[in-house]
Structure 1
Amino acid sequence: MKFGQGYQSALDNAEFPQEWVESAISYKQLKKCIKRVRKELLSLGLDQQTMQKLWEHVATGSESQGDGSASPPLLSYKVEGDEDVTFIPKLTIALNPQDGSPVDAWLSPETREHLRHLVKKKRAMSISPPRNAIGKPQFQSLQKIAIDDDLDASSEDAGDSEDPIETVEVPLTAGSEFLGILRKELEALEKLQDREEKLLHSEITQLGHDLRELKLSHKRRSKEEVETWRKVFEIYSDAEVFVSSHESDAGARDVEQAQKHFDWFLAQLAEQRKRGEINLDNDTRATVDRFIRINTNLLRLLRFQAMNRTALSKIMKKFDKQTALHMRAALPTALERASAAALSDELARATSMTISHELVHLIPQLNDYLCPVCYGITYKPVRLACNHVYCIRCMIVMQREKQNECPLCRAPVVLAANSDAVDYDLKHFLERNFKAEVKQKQKENEQASAIDRFGEAYTKSDTKCKVM
């Protein structure tokens, strides 16, 4: 299936609202504009092969005239206009000053120099190109010129001056239409993206407000919901749906990869619900569905954006290929800005950061507060001078073994730590948010301390003392 057919089929998919479809790049309409541009160029005698030959000459560099100044290039293409005026594409062509035809594009510099001297001997002709009935300049197709090998260039007077190369600007009406349509559609896409992005951020902010109220509630049911959200966000953080932190693929994911990781998140969520590890009542299920819908809408917007980005790239490539006008190199600054704003690839990263800040970070994750030595919760956290934090049990073990270097940064700060290094603010935070984990770690520490005092044979038992 050709891109145009696949693109239109995807737009017609019920996934996208009608207003989105109406704002999309009109690939089919722009293709028709390209045909009109080609027809307009052909009416001027500028077929694709001729244009390519002219550009090949331009690529070799301009020549210098007798006075040392550079002669004008055989061909140039520029687009005049900005945000407030219509874009006017103009094709500038170097002409033979004698007959108004384009200077031959594939002649060597030596031959071109020789021809200039020959032209001087001919009868002077008007340097203006002949015009057709509607007033447009007409040009002859490029023709190879045969040169007599016996012609002696030295017969010319060394002091003779050369005729200057003339140029003519040809406004391209169809090209102006193409750019006008493109600008209108890019502006519509930019407005659509701004509106949808604001809507997403509004939904994220509202959900964050609801989670804050839930977290502040002292009801037992609310605390259970907070624990449920903790598990949901733990899976979501592991999924790294929109932005990867792994060294191999760090950065924003493309829409296909993001969809793949989001599907993994949904599968893990369903699996934990099936095993009974995550229990959702009606209210919690509705809130989780809101969170899922936010991600689904963002993925849909990213997919729509990616489709339009591809459509724009392909239509510009097709324009240059079929007209040989080098449109992409002459794209107006105003249109480049509109394209960058409407099809920015920073949307995923920015929205992901908003989700992380407004939602995920509201519910502290246990993985963020693990001791880097024992990988348990940082019970009675000790903050070293290097600012790294360890649980008090691991700190005691390191000091007992005379290990003075911080395991993370190797700073010699371990032996200097004392009771003043306990971070009580963090200790109270962990006790509020991870009561079960703190209680379990406290129990393990007490048992380890008893083993230190009474030896490995010590075991804590609930069996009543037989003596008593």
Structure 2
Amino acid sequence: MKFAKVFEQTLVEDEIPDDWIEAAIQYKALKKCIARVVEELNLLGLEQNTLKVLLDHVEVNQDETTASNPVVAQYVLKKTKDSKVIPSLKIVVDYNAELTDDYINTSIQVLRSNLEQIVHGFSDNDMKDEDSEDDENNSIEENVLISKTSVQQLPSTAGSSGKKYQISIRLNSDTKFFSMLNQELNNLDKFKKQEEDKMIQEIQNVAETLHELSRNESVKKSDIYTWRELFRLFLDNEIYFKYNDSTYQASEKSLTLVKNNLNKYNEIVTKSRILDQFKNKKSLRAFTKFLHVNEYLLKVLQFQSINTTAFRKILKKFDKQTSLNVKSRLPKLISDDHVFFTGKSLSQSICYIIQTSLLQIVPQLEDYTCPICLEIAFKPIKLECGHLFCVRCLVKMKHEDKFDCPICRYEKAVSLADGSNLDMETMQMMQRMFPKEVKQKLRDRDQERYSEVFGGNKCVMM
């Protein structure tokens, strides 16, 4: 099936909203523009095979052309200050040189004949430098074959009476093609910014609700633990990235995996009936918004994926029908300007926001566990190296003459720690966010102290 049909069907099957479809790449219109490029090149005698020979089998020096090459063609893509791409076909014609290869020689003769009108259509006063600023401001008329042509006479080869010209041709059709392509990219950039802003606002709304709940004494022992379990499941499923690492594009999962992982997460939440544990209706509404953000992000990723594929396909088709080789060059020219075209995923920015502004509101226990006793590091002591331990374990290390950090071996980090190293802000957060764990930690501490004083003997009432 042709990609144009696949493109349309995918937009329908993925249930892409109508207003999104309006922002999608106009693939069929760009295809028609390519057909017009081919038609205009053919009128110049630059059929695909001929152009391929001239472009691929003759080396071109940007500053000069050797006399051994009778005709040299180079397709140039120039980026303007306003990020538009201006194409031009530059051809050097040496009217004195001949080739022994019959096919190339015949092709060149046809090309010379077709370009003769262009060359003699300019007087010496009309010949312009190829870097003329007019190239960027030239207007395009719909029915004009060539939108702009400049001719520069080059020095003839020593001992030759023939003339050599460098002709820069701007076709109407390829100029229109890149103009349309640029507009499509701009439309998708606006779409991306608009949808990203919507999702960020939704995430911020959920974050505000969580902040409110985390400071509410009546819900902290119930809803906060439910939220923690929901977020733990979310992280464990690694929905968007391997090991949930949103900083490396190489770890990003395929669209199919993202969809499957999100469905799996929803199934686990539903089957476990964990949402029934919410005591506050605000929590349930906030989690519904959280799910909606992820489902919405999946939809945007689907839209991004099919459009990115469409751009690659249309450039491949342009090259296949013209041999002008823009597929490898154009992305390098515009990659910094258009996010959709490069394939950079929107999931990177959204997942980063989810992690930094949402998941951290309800921290996971393992992030605040003492690496020695493997319990919550209540009354946390932060060493100079940055590692965190509970005060009880730190005291034990000092008694055992262990003065270096047991994690990174930072010298004398333990011996240098004192009361000023107590992280009061983290301790208060632990009391608020991990009340059950803190209570158990204090109970274990008291039990340990009792054992140290009285040993394993217990008082037995007779």
TM-score normalised over the length of structure 2: 0.77
Q: Which has the larger displacement, 187-196 or 389-398?
A: 389-398
| CA spacing shift, 1:8–1:136, aligned 2, 3 Å | closer
Deviations 1:10-47 (A, max 9, x none): 11235211011111112233222222222222222212
Per the alignment, residue 443 of structure 1 pairs with: 443
Deviation at 1:73, TM superposition (A): 6.9
CA distance in 2, matches of 1:278, 1:183: 51
Per the alignment, residue 53 of structure 1 pairs with: 53
Amino acid at match of 1:129: E
Deviation at 1:343, TM superposition (A): 5.5
CA RMSD, 1 decimal: 3.9
TM-score normalised over the length of structure 1: 0.76
CA distance in 2, matches of 1:105, 1:233: 74
Contact 2:74 2:91 in 1 (8 A): yes
Output aligned runs, 1:67-78, within 5 Å.
74-78=72-76
Per the alignment, residue 6 of structure 2 pairs with: 6
Amino acid at match of 2:326: M
Output aligned runs, 1:207-226, within 5 Å.
207-218=206-217, 220-221=218-219, 223-226=221-224
Deviation at 1:373, TM superposition (A): 1.6
Deviation at 1:195, TM superposition (A): 1.0
Contact 1:242 1:348 in 2 (8 A): yes
Contact 1:74 1:94 in 2 (8 A): yes
Identify unmatched segments of 5+ residues in structure 2. 106-111, 121-142, 147-156
Per the alignment, residue 154 of structure 1 pairs with: none
SS in structure 2 opposite 1:300?
helix
Per the alignment, residue 269 of structure 2 pairs with: 269
Per the alignment, residue 169 of structure 1 pairs with: 168
CA distance in 2, matches of 1:78, 1:317: 17
Amino acid at match of 2:426: L
Deviations 1:264-317 (A, max 9, x none): 43243234326x895476543222111100111112112211221111112112
Deviations 1:82-114 (A, max 9, x none): 477986533222224259xxx75979xxx99xx
1:409 aligns with 2:408: yes
**Which of 86, 89, 92 matches 2:90?**
92
CA distance in 2, matches of 1:209, 1:74: 65
Per the alignment, residue 231 of structure 1 pairs with: 229
Q: Which has the larger displacement, 287-296 or 376-385?
A: 376-385
Identity of aligned residues (%): 29
Deviation at 1:402, TM superposition (A): 2.3
Per the alignment, residue 461 of structure 2 pairs with: 466
Contact 1:187 1:342 in 2 (8 A): no
SS in structure 1 opposite 2:91?
strand
Matched length? 418
Output aligned runs, 1:278-293, within 5 Å.
278-279=277-278, 282-293=281-292
Amino acid at match of 2:461: K
Contact 2:70 2:93 in 1 (8 A): no
Contact 2:75 2:87 in 1 (8 A): yes
Deviation at 1:379, TM superposition (A): 2.2
Deviations 1:37-70 (A, max 9, x none): 222222222121111111123347687658xxx9
CA distance in 2, matches of 1:329, 1:342: 13
CA distance in 1, matches of 2:325, 2:79: 17
Per the alignment, residue 178 of structure 1 pairs with: 177
Amino acid at match of 1:50: T
CA distance in 1, matches of 2:46, 2:323: 10
CA distance in 1, matches of 2:370, 2:286: 32
Per the alignment, residue 325 of structure 1 pairs with: 324
SS in structure 2 opposite 1:269?
helix
Output aligned runs, 1:240-389, within 5 Å.
240-245=238-243, 250-251=248-249, 253-256=252-255, 257-273=257-273, 278-279=277-278, 282-328=281-327, 331=330, 338-340=337-339, 345=344, 347-389=346-388
Output aligned runs, 1:19-168, within 5 Å.
19-59=19-59, 65=66, 74-79=72-77, 82=80, 89-97=87-95, 129-130=116-117, 160-161=159-160, 163-168=162-167
